Chains A and B, each alone.
Chain A
Amino acid sequence: MARGSLTRIGDSWPPVVGALLIIALWQGSVVLFKLPPYVLPGLGSILERMVVERTILLQGLAMTGAEALAGFAIGVAWGLGLAIAITMLPRMERPIMPLIVGINSVPVVAYAPLMLIWFGIGPASKIAMASIAVGFVILLNSLQGLKATDPAAIGLLRSFGAGSVRILTKLRLPMAMPAIVNGLRVGIVRSVLVVIVSEMLGAYRGLGWTIYESTQQTDFLRVWAAVFAASAGSLLLYGVLVAIDRKVVWWR
Chain B
Amino acid sequence: MSDILRPVLTFVALLVVWEAAVRGLAIRPFYLPAASVVLADLWSAPSLYFHAVVRTLTETLVGFVAGVLFGLACGTLFAHARFMERMLFPYFVVSQTIPVIAFGALIIMWFGNGLLSKAIIAFYLTFFPVTVNTQRGLSGVDEQRIALLRSFGAGSLKMFVKLRFPHALPSIMVALRLGISLSLVGAIVGEWFGDVTGLGVMLVHAMFNEHIARLWGVILICGLLGGALYSAVTAIERRYVFWRAEV
Contacts and interface: CB of A to CB of B under 8 A. Distances in A.
Contact of B31 (A98, A110, A113, A118): A118
A231 interface: yes
Contacts of A99: 14, 17
Interface residues of B, number: 52
A234 to B, nearest CB: 5
Given A99-B17, A109-B189, A117-B215, A201 B204 contact: yes
Contacts, number: 136
Contact of B223 (A106, A118, A227): A106
Interface stretch (B83-91, B142-150, B166-174): B83-91
Interface stretch (A78-86, A139-147, A160-168, A216-224): A216-224
Interface in B206-247: 206-207, 210, 212, 215-216, 218-220, 222-224, 226-227, 230
Interface in A104-127: 105-114, 116-118
A113 B223 contact: no
Interface SS of A by simple majority: helix
A98 B17 CA distance: 11
Contact of A234 (B17, B88, B97): B97
Given A112-B203, A196-B99, A215-B109, 15 more contacts: A22-B88, A102-B10, A109-B188, A109-B189, A110-B199, A110-B219, A110-B223, A114-B215, A189-B98, A201-B192, A201-B207, A207-B102, A227-B102, A231-B99, A235-B94
17 contacts: A14-B83, A21-B87, A22-B88, A98-B10, A98-B14, A105-B226, A106-B220, A106-B223, A113-B215, A114-B215, A114-B219, A117-B207, A200-B189, A212-B193, A216-B194, A224-B106, A230-B99
Interface of B: 10-11, 13-14, 17, 30-31, 83, 86-88, 90-91, 94, 96-99, 101-103, 105-106, 108-110, 181, 184-185, 188-189, 192-194, 199, 203-204, 206-207, 210, 212, 215-216, 218-220, 222-224, 226-227, 230
9 closest A-B pairs by CB: A18-B87, A113-B207, A14-B86, A106-B223, A105-B227, A231-B98, A193-B99, A110-B222, A238-B97
